[in-house]
Amino acid sequence: MTALTKSEMAERLFEELGLNKREAKEIVELFFEEIRASLEGNEQVKLSGFGNFDLRDKSQRPGRNPKTGEEIPISARRVVTFRPGQKLKARVEEYAGTESQ
Amino acid sequence: MTKSELIDAIAASQAQLSLKDVELAVKTILEHMSEALASGERIEIRGFGSFSLHYREPRRGRNPKTGDTVDLTGKYVPHFKPGKELRERVNLGLQAGR
């Protein structure tokens, strides 16, 4: 199955809400950009019914170059995690697909 | 940031649409994304990340109140993998001391 992309989201805003194509495309871009900007500023994003984008700070840990076996530390970093909300989890659980993705 | 703050931020970043229109648009986008995942479809947003379903094997669980064992069927759970631009920008935030 093909994946949902920004252009299909914009298409739906055009069809269902009557935004013109330029506006629809801009709103979809802004939707993802504003979420990124919030996370970049270390602020979690909570979208009720869908889920939360949280931030976790990881301290430096030892790692290894898998090719050479050489030890190199993995630097401290901040990562984004997504916790799906109850409503989304319930809707997805009902999916009885046979292919795992 | 909550959904209504996201709606405010988007509305403030553009000049054409009313707050009401932006609110409807955000709700439509989230419904579209939920629908896609509920029908087993992936979501791919370049520079942001991808959403897919991960399968959880059936397992034997326990009712924490009564201690009874219950057989839990296999199920799918939503999974998000951040894209390159999002990973880099979030890390820059850390380096900038935010």
Mean pLDDT along residues A59-74: 91
Give tens-digit pLDDT for A6-50.
Answer: 999 999 999 999 999 999 999 999 999 999 999 999 999 999 999
**Please, what's the largest Cα pairwise distance for chain A?**
57
Tell me the H-state helices in chain B: 3-12, 19-38, 84-95
pLDDT confidence tier of residue A97, bands split at 50, 70 and 90: low
Number of domains in chain B: 2
**B70 in contact with chain A, both atoms CB, cutoff 8 A:** no
Q: What is the pLDDT of residue A3?
A: 96
Shared-domain flag, residues B54 and B72: yes
Rounded-to-integer distance, Cα B10 and Cα B15, Å:
10
Contact A50, B21 (CB under 8 A): no
Q: What is the pLDDT of residue A94?
A: 81
CATH of the domain at B70: 4.10.520.10
CATH placement of domain A1-43: 4.10.520.10
State the pTM of this model: 0.89
Degrees, nearest 5: CA angle B11-B12-B16: 60
Ranges for all domains in chain A classified under CATH 4.10.520.10: 1-43, 56-95
Fold of A56-95: HU Protein; Chain A (4.10.520)
Shared-domain flag, residues B51 and B89: yes
Which residue pairs, CB below 8 angstroms and at least 24 apart, start in A62-68? none
Among chain A residues, CA nearest to B55: A100
Structure tokens at A45: 């994003």
Rounded-to-integer distance, Cα A48 and Cα A45, Å:
10
Q: Which of residues 11-50 of A touch B (CB under 8 A)?
A: 12-13, 16-17, 19, 23-24, 26-28, 30-50
Q: What is the pLDDT of residue A38?
A: 97
B74 DSSP assignment: P
Residue B86 structural domain: 42-97
Q: What is the pLDDT of residue A101?
A: 44
Rounded-to-integer distance, Cα B35 and Cα A77, Å:
33
Give tens-digit pLDDT for B37-92.
Answer: 999 999 999 999 999 999 988 888 888 899 899 888 888 999 999 999 999 999 98
**ipTM here:** 0.90
Phi, psi of A47, deg, nearest 5: -110, 100
